Amino acid sequence: MPFKALIIDDDSSFKMLLERRLKSFFPDLIVTYFNKLTPAREFLSQNQNPDFDIVFLDEHLPDGRGAEFLSEGLFNELAVLSVSSDTAPEIPGKTLSAGATYFLSKTSVSEPLFRPLVEGIIDRNKIQRELSRLKMDSLVVDTVRTLVGTLRHEINNPLGAVLGAAYLLSNNANASADQKEAAQLVESSGQRIKHVLDELCKAIEVESVTKANQKVFHIPGDKPWDDSKK
């Protein structure tokens, strides 16, 4: 797979040096380049989920500061390596506080540790993104479980009443043949609904409990009990 880098820097010489260094260990490098913040801002605003392995963001650009650009929140979960030739001691702290993954002096690009640094930043970002995805998936599953459990609970009570009434009618000696047939149809349809809901709850592993000798499914937050133990 190609390695995709976004470079936002107005120093063309540094941009060429950076590309050469990256290509030395990422030969399939693809670079998207901007020398000002304004076109980079427009690009990121139009591409909400840009597919970049890493971003190199200069601190001093003709139309603004990199740290201020970071604080706009356009980089989502991208790994951003802030770079600068400015040796002012407050710059690394500002860029990291604004959301940069790491700060690096431009002179360090030529050093041997540049490669393991870049690879480490990329690997760390991949792990963080995967953890975020798993956390989000877990929240979605919990929400679905709650909704299905609530649905099962809300349908169970009226469905039980309908099935009970259908049973009484179908076994009523004074009921007509048409009434008994209709009652049997209602009971059969109700049992199918109950079966579908039961299987749905099983599929998402909603906790089952026993109430009044009937297996139902526990709604998160509702106290489960088991009448069979009384």
pLDDT in tens, the chain (230 residues): 899 999 999 999 999 999 999 999 999 999 999 999 999 999 999 987 888 999 999 999 999 999 999 999 899 889 999 999 998 999 999 999 999 999 999 999 999 999 999 999 999 888 877 776 666 666 666 777 777 777 776 777 787 777 888 878 888 888 888 888 888 888 888 888 877 777 777 766 655 555 555 554 444 444 444 444 44
pLDDT at 193: 80
Question: What's the topology of domain 3-111?
Answer: Rossmann fold (3.40.50)
| Angstrom distance (rounded) from CA 197 to CA 214 | 14
- Residue span(s) of the chain under CATH 3.40.50.2300 come to 3-111
**DSSP line for 21-38:** HHHHH-TTEEEEEESSHH
Residue 209 and residue 217 in contact, taking contact as beta carbons nearer than 8 Å: yes
pLDDT at 84: 95
pLDDT at 173: 82
| Angstrom distance (rounded) from CA 136 to CA 189 | 37
Angle at 67 between CA 61 and CA 72, to 5 degrees: 105
